[in-house]
Amino acid sequence: MIGAGLAPEQGPPFTAPLRFFLTAPWFLVAAGLLAAFDPGWTEGPLSPTALALTHLLTLGFLGMVMLGALTQMLPVLAGAPMPGIRPVATIGHASLTLGTPLLAWGLWRGEPAALLHGAGLLWLGLAPLLISAGLALADARRLDSVHAMRVAFVALLATLALGLGLAGWLADALPAGWRPDDPFIWLRAHALAGLAGWVAILVVGVAWQVVPMLQVTPAYPAWATRPLLVVLTSAVGVALLAPAPWRVVGEIALALGLAAFALVTLDLQRRRKRKLASPTLDLWRLGMLGLIGAVALFALPLPGEPARLAGGVLFLVGFAASVVIGMVDKIVPFLAWFHLRAGPGTSAGALPGMKDFLSDAAARGQARLHLVALVCLVAAPFAPALAVPGGLLLAAAGAVAGWNLARAARLYARHRR
């Protein structure tokens, strides 16, 4: 249909993505406080505290930002507005905000009621948002990034379905015929689909657009776009569904594919034309190094739980959280400026620029806290005493991020009046 995606009314209202971006950092705070007050997570990735932390980070922080960003990216970059965006964003945001702490509490304290209510709330509340995003994705332009989003979206649905099943199993609430013979098969599939299928593939697809955009780098080479997506998607598929001896082939292909993506991204950033220092650039570079480190820790035959746990920290905090913070630091000031500029009664010249909404100094301070927190948290599985400073620093980094973004939103609101 001619004009779809370019008509002014088809970008979402600012409140649709903004509510997600403003809430997300406070889940970093919650995760940091839990990591500091209960260092039991350093015992292993399946300890109750580690499971709670993982869900505060993946649903509360990463999922919150990524779903919020989809409401903006699908209409603007893919020409596919999400139907019913106002109510589905409101309901989806509320269910993530309420359901995630409930689920995390249930996992941490081993409380079946909290676990089931949390999982149920998330499913009910996210369903309209997911249906709306699914309809938009089906209708979107055939761009490489859209293909990556589609793969990620299917992986997200699988992750959430397996998560609901696992919550039912943990709470002993599954009907007799539905109980898994080996719940660890579900658990492995849940983690693989969520981390590789949803988080990593979505970041890859978004990077194709935003890495050249933010630093004026060359475009990704052809092999690192659709062919890489085919490799990553097949690798996740094989790792999930193939007979046992073949799964390792999928895991190796996945590790190599993600490492190649990280390396090519670092190379593009090295060749950037824009030489200006930028906290977002630093966070993306940290993210790519975190991804390489995580892949190495998972792929190398290192003994014991601490290496796997450190790999998980590198993936979630080092890779995913870093690139997500770097993006939000750009998206919120730009959208604030954009919506003010487009709004009625605003005059040119009188408006704040992007750096008035969020200064480089504020973003850099946040990024430094994040880096120090990461170093402590990665080392904590080997030296559990570091869990306390690591957690407190992560909470501080989250609070500064939340404060920075809230300040930008307040400045927007002041000019809007």
Partner 1 sequence: MTETGDATITQFLADDHNRCDDLFAAAENAVSVRDWASAAAHFQAFLEAMRRHFAMEEDILFPAFETRAGSGGGPTFVMRGEHREMNGLLDEMGAALERREQDAYLNLSETLLMLMRQHNLKEENILYPMTDHALAGERPELLGAMRAR
Select from 33, 98, 131, 143 the one that contacts partner 1 (CB under 8 A).
143
Q: Would you count residue 8 as binding partner 1 (CB under 8 A)? A: yes
Tokens of 162: 């397996």
225 binds partner 1 (CB under 8 A): no
- Number of residues in contact with partner 1 under rule CB under 8 A: 32
271 lies in the site for partner 1, by CB under 8 A: no
Q: Which of 239, 315, 288 is nearest to 62 (CA)?
A: 315
* Of residues 86 and 355, the one with the C-beta less far from partner 1: 355
User: Whose Cβ is closer to partner 1: residue 31's or residue 283's?
Assistant: 283
Among the listed residues 23, 71, 95, 209, the single contact to partner 1 using CB under 8 A: 209
Choose the stretch contacting partner 1; rule: CB under 8 A; options: 179-187, 243-251, 353-361, 364-372. 353-361
Residue from 46, 113, 124, 213 touching partner 1 (CB under 8 A): that is 213
Query: Which tokens hold the place of 255?
Result: 């590790």
- Of residues 113 through 142, those in contact with partner 1 by CB under 8 A are 141
Instruction: Please report how close the Cβ of residue 272 comes to partner 1 at its closest, in angstroms.
Output: 8
Q: Identify the residue whose tokens are 């892949």.
A: 295
Residue 258, classified by CB atoms within 10 Å of its CB into exposed (0-12), middle (13-18) or buried (19+), is buried
Q: Exactly one of 34, 78, 291, 374 binds partner 1 (CB under 8 A); which one?
A: 78
Distance, CA of 329 to CA of 367 (rounded, Å): 10
Contact between 79 and 140 (Cβ < 8 Å): yes
Distance CA 254, CA 317 (A): 20
Listed residue (80, 205, 115, 110) closest to 154, CA to CA: 205
334 scored as a contact of partner 1 (CB under 8 A): yes
Q: Does the footprint of partner 1 cover residue 276 (CB under 8 A)?
A: yes
Contact region with partner 1 (CB under 8 A), list: 77-85, 119-127, 232-240, 385-393? 77-85
**Region binding partner 1 by CB under 8 A among candidate stretches 31-39, 59-67, 103-111, 335-343:** 335-343
Q: Does 330 bind partner 1 (CB under 8 A)?
A: yes
Question: For residue 403, what are its two tokens?
Answer: 């404060």
d(CA 185, CA 240): 9
Q: Where are the alpha helices (DSSP H) in 176-304?
A: 183-192, 201-215, 226-241, 244-270, 279-299
Minimum CB distance to partner 1 smaller for 54 or for 225:
225
| Secondary structure of residue 341 in the 3-state scheme | helix
Q: 158 or 325: whose CB is closer to partner 1?
A: 325
Using CB under 8 A, pick the residue from 86, 271, 355, 410 that binds partner 1: 355
Which long-range contacts (C-beta less than 8 Å, at least 24 apart) are formed by 268-274?
268/211, 268/212, 268/217, 268/218, 268/220, 269/211, 269/215, 269/217, 271/217, 271/218, 272/215, 272/216, 272/217, 273/215, 273/216, 273/217, 274/215, 274/216
Helix extents (H) in 84-200: 85-109, 112-139, 144-170, 183-192
Could you tell me which stretch among 84-92, 108-116, 154-162, 209-217 binds partner 1 (CB under 8 A)? 209-217
Based on the shown chain and the rule CB under 8 A, indicate whether residue 338 belongs to the binding site for partner 1.
Answer: yes
Which one among 172, 349, 414, 417 touches partner 1, defined by CB under 8 A? 349
Phi, psi of 87 (to 5 degrees): -65, -40
Q: Which residues bind partner 1 (CB under 8 A)?
A: 2-8, 76-79, 141, 143, 209, 213-214, 216, 273-276, 330, 334, 337-338, 341, 348-349, 353-356
